[in-house]
Amino acid sequence: MNPTINIDKDNLPTHIAVIMDGNGRWAKGKGAARIFGHKNAINAVRDVTEGCAELGVKYLTLYAFSTENWARPKTEVKGLMQLLVHTIKNEIGTLQKNDVQLNAIGDLTSLPGNCQNELTEAIALTKQNKGLVLTLALSYSGRWEIIEAAKSIAKAVKNGEIQINEIDADLFRSNLMSSNIPDPELLIRTSGEMRISNFLLWQLAYTEIYITQKLWPDFRKNDLNEAILAFQRRERRFGQISEQVN
């Protein structure tokens, strides 16, 4: 039975974030190089993006490349960057067909020039789309984002633009790279790992976490539906008690 029929379309998470984990292990299990896993991960990205667009989810953020990933073997990093350029170029049609707007967060200036160019062009080409907003976290670190926000606020205080007593959660959030999108309501992590790996540290404060043993290259729409169903079965209390929420 397709789990889609059980999903309450009036209770969808507005924003789903995904830690796409297990590409290397998937490739190793097939006796192939790690880059083979990354290449096959594109099918999962396409399927989940289309699934979110079809359901009516408004925001999807994918943890594509962390700042820590730069420390991986140079051959793997080079292959990933080449794959990123190739994928962005080839997936424009899919994004346009599904009315998806592309966005990106992270230290984008650290990416190779051709990656920056393809990303900038794709963001511009999809800017007018009104459906799902797909954000790629590239060369991203939650701690880095928080530090950058702190620097921005400190500079504003130094320049007399704001007073220290004006700094609150709303002001801090407005200085994050993701300030234009709501915090995730659901975080999906594949491969069974039980950690958030420096991803959206500020934004995940009250996010529901769903862990699956499935490796990312095998993740499909039905798996997305199962994660959403699990989310819909939970009671979100935000520090209150059940009686207050209900």
Cite the active site residues.
Answer: 21, 69
- The residue type at 112: P
Strands 186-189 and 15-19: parallel
Measured distance CA(225)–CA(5) in Å, rounded: 9
Tell me the Cα Rg of the chain.
19
CB 136 within 8 A of CB 104: yes
Assigned token pair, 234? 């939970």
Side by side, the strands of the sheet bearing 186-189 are 101-105, 133-140, 59-66, 15-19, 186-189, 208-211
Contacting residues for 90 by C-beta, under 8 A, at least 6 apart: none
CA angle 43, 47, 48 (to 5 degrees): 120
Measured distance CA(197)–CA(56) in Å, rounded: 28
HSE-CB for 86 with a 13 A CA cutoff? 9
